[in-house]
């Protein structure tokens, strides 16, 4: 018989074994001392798997709560940084302490032709072969 590796396989196999032992109780009167601990262990397995499944659901709910709280913290941090920026001024070097980039003086561009002229394309020359000397 192949070994059972999954919880469900062990559970089902043990249920069938106990049912067969109960069905043949008259023939197996002396096995009760071994069967009783197995019944207790199976009950414990059922309890633990139910608890695990409950914890999985709780874990999923908690994960969603954590994600919502993280988003709330991001939003509130952005709001606080905006208020600090408004209070200190957009050019204050002190903003760097709060991980806010201060506005720097920009490079002024000359007005005029806003788009650069396209670069000239190189002319293609026909391939020439050197005269054969012979």
pLDDT at 54 over 90: yes
**Hey, is 29 helix, strand or coil?**
helix
- The answer as to whether 20 is a domain residue is yes
Residue 40 in domain: yes
What's the pLDDT at 126?
Answer: 58
What's the number of domains the chain is made of? Answer: 1
Residue 10's nearest CA partner among 61, 54, 49 is 49
Residue 127 lies in a domain: no
Q: What string of H, E and C letters represents the secondary structure of 54-97?
A: HHHHHHHHHHHHHHHHHHHHHHHHHHHHHHHHHHHCCCCHHHHH
Q: What is the pLDDT of residues 70-99, one digit of tens each?
A: 999 999 999 999 999 999 999 998 999 999
Q: Name the least confident of 26-30, 63-67, 120-124.
A: 120-124
Please state, in angstroms and as integers, the Cα–Cα distance from residue 87 to each residue in 26, 79, 95, 97, following that order.
89, 12, 10, 14
Q: What is the pLDDT of residue 115?
A: 66
What rounded mean pLDDT belongs to the chain?
Answer: 86
Question: For residue 129, what pLDDT is reported?
Answer: 65
C-beta separation of 81 from 98 below 8 A:
yes
Residue 49's pLDDT is: 92
Whether residue 130 is contained in a domain is answered as no
What is the pLDDT at residue 107?
73
Residue for token pair 């874990």: 59
Which among 72, 101, 59, 61 is positioned nearest to 84, based on CA atoms?
A: 101
**Has residue 131 got a pLDDT over 70?**
no
Residue 17's pLDDT is: 93
86 located within any domain: yes
Inside any domain, residue 112: no
In a domain, 2, yes or no: no
pLDDT at 62: 95
Give the burial string for 86-122 (b: 16+ CB within 10 Å, else e).
eebeeebeebeeeebeeeeeeeeeeeeeeeeeeeeee
Which residue range forms the structural domain that includes residue 43?
Answer: 7-98
118 part of a folded domain: no
Report the pLDDT value the prediction gives residue 109, as an integer from 0 to 100. Answer: 74
pTM of the complete model beyond 0.75: no
């Amino acid at each position: 018989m192949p070994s059972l590796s999954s919880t469900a396989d062990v559970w089902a196999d043990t249920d069938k074994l106990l049912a067969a032992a109960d069905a043949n109780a008259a023939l197996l009167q002396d096995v009760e001392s071994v069967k009783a601990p197995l019944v207790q262990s199976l009950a414990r397995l059922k309890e633990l798997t139910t608890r695990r499944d409950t914890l999985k659901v709780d874990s999923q709910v908690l994960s969603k709560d954590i994600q919502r709280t993280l988003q709330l913290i991001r939003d509130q941090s952005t709001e606080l940084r905006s208020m600090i920026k408004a209070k200190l001024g957009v050019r204050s070097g002190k903003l760097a302490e709060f991980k806010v980039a201060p506005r720097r003086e920009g490079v002024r561009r000359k007005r005029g032709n806003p788009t650069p002229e396209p670069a000239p394309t190189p002319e293609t020359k026909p391939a020439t072969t050197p005269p054969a000397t012979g």
